[in-house]
A and B are shown apart, each in its own frame.
Chain A
Amino acid sequence: MSVEAKQKAQWSARVRESAEKNLPPSQLLPDEQPVYVHSWIYVFGVLTIAAFGVVLVSGLWLSLKGPTWWHTSSIGLFVNSLHLWSAELFFFFMVIHLWGKFWMAAWRGNRSMTWVTGSVAFLASIGTAFTGYLSQQNFASQWIASEGKDGLNAAGIGAFFNVLNFGQMLMWHIVLMPLVVGALIVIHVLLVRKHGVVPPYPLEGQTEFDTGPETVVDVKPPSGGEGGAS
Chain B
Amino acid sequence: MGAMRAAAAPLSTAIVNLNHPAHYIHWGWFQISVANLLVIVLMLVVFVLALFVPFPGRRFQ
Contact = CB atoms under 8 A, between A and B. Distances in A.
B29 interface: no
Interface residues of B, number: 23
B53 interface: yes
B43 A229 contact: no
Interface string B35-46: 000010011001
Contact of B61 (A73, A76, A219, A229): A219
A100 B57 contact: no
A219 B60 contact: yes
B11 to A, nearest CB: 9
Question: Chain A, interface size: which category?
Answer: 20 to 34
A72 B3 contact: yes
A70 B7 CA distance: 7
A40 B53 contact: yes
A230 interface: yes
B16 interface: no
Interface of A: 35, 38-41, 43-44, 70-74, 76-77, 88, 92, 95-96, 99-100, 217-222, 226-230
Interface of B: 3-4, 6-10, 39, 42-43, 46-47, 49-51, 53, 55-61
